[in-house]
Amino acid sequence: MNKIIDPAIPRHVAIIMDGNGRWALGRGLGRLFGHRKGVEAVRRTVDAARESGISYLTLFAFSSENWKRPADEVDGIMELIATFIHRELDNYHRQNMRFQMIGERSGLSAKILRALEVAEERTRNNTGLHVVVAVNYGSRAEIAGAARALAKKVAEGRLNPDDIDEAAIGEHLDTAGLPDPDLVIRTSGEQRLSNFLLWQTAYSELVFLPCNWPDFSREMFFEALSEYARRNRRFGALSAPQAALTDT
């Protein structure tokens, strides 16, 4: 795994890839065309992330709420995800990158589920950039699932309720074993998390960009990293200058 030494470089960047449909509609095109252009932005972003020295990149590809969209759009998005994985897997593997999916696997087609599982298994032992793709993912459902798993252990006598703490909950989330995101980027101008990694982003820095996802560039990615480096992350404590002022 890449070793992050400079604290100005985030270890984990998560991205809400929003605005594909709006990008297409603004050009008089179908929404699915926007999703196809969004795939190109994914390629640029993964390359930039690998070059930047971050260790983890999480991409919000399809939310559990996205099933409400028209069936042809949903089918097209799923086909794009499966095709992207199939085409990029050899390249990712050669570059020592690891692939992981988070989200609810039930409900996914056999084709896309197979593509995701093959990618996970083939790259499982790679130690470079760890790419996490959220598919059929919703954070509230994820947290509810963790609560059910813990309740079951208590009911079976395998867990003392007093031992349920933040760490125990974290171990039962889809992201168990992954560090929390240091930085969350969202495109399209929207300024909300939209049920994405709600537990994990408690102390993440948030950067909202006005561009739609197909226009997201490597330059924008690196500028977001620069913005992160300018932030003063205190995690509820005082910054160093403030602490010095109170040390009397």
Residues carrying an active site annotation: 18, 66
Instruction: Specify the amino acid at residue 151.
Output: A
Q: Are 22 and 33 in contact (CB under 8 A)?
A: no
Q: Are 175 and 4 in contact (CB under 8 A)?
A: no
Residue numbering of the annotated binding site for substrate:
19-23, 31, 35, 63-65, 67, 69, 186, 192-194
Residue numbering of the annotated binding site:
18-23, 31, 35, 63-65, 67, 69, 186, 192-194, 205
Q: Which residues contact 240 (CB under 8 A, 6 or more apart)?
A: none
- Each as own residue / partner, the long-range contacts of residues 23-29 (CB below 8 Å, 24 or more positions apart, any chain) are 23/212, 23/213, 23/214, 23/215, 24/214, 26/212
Q: Are 194 and 17 in contact (CB under 8 A)?
A: no
Q: For residue 135, with 0-12 CB atoms within 10 Å meaning exposed, 13-18 middle and 19 or more buried, which class applies?
A: buried
CA distance 181 to 204: 6
Q: Are 187 and 211 in contact (CB under 8 A)?
A: yes
Q: Which residues contact 32 (CB under 8 A, 6 or more apart)?
A: 24, 72, 73, 76, 77
Task: Please provide the distance, in angstroms rounded to a whole number, between the alpha carbons at the two ends of the chain.
Answer: 43
Find how far residue 65's CA is from the centre of its chain: 16
Residue numbering of the annotated binding site for Mg(2+):
18, 205
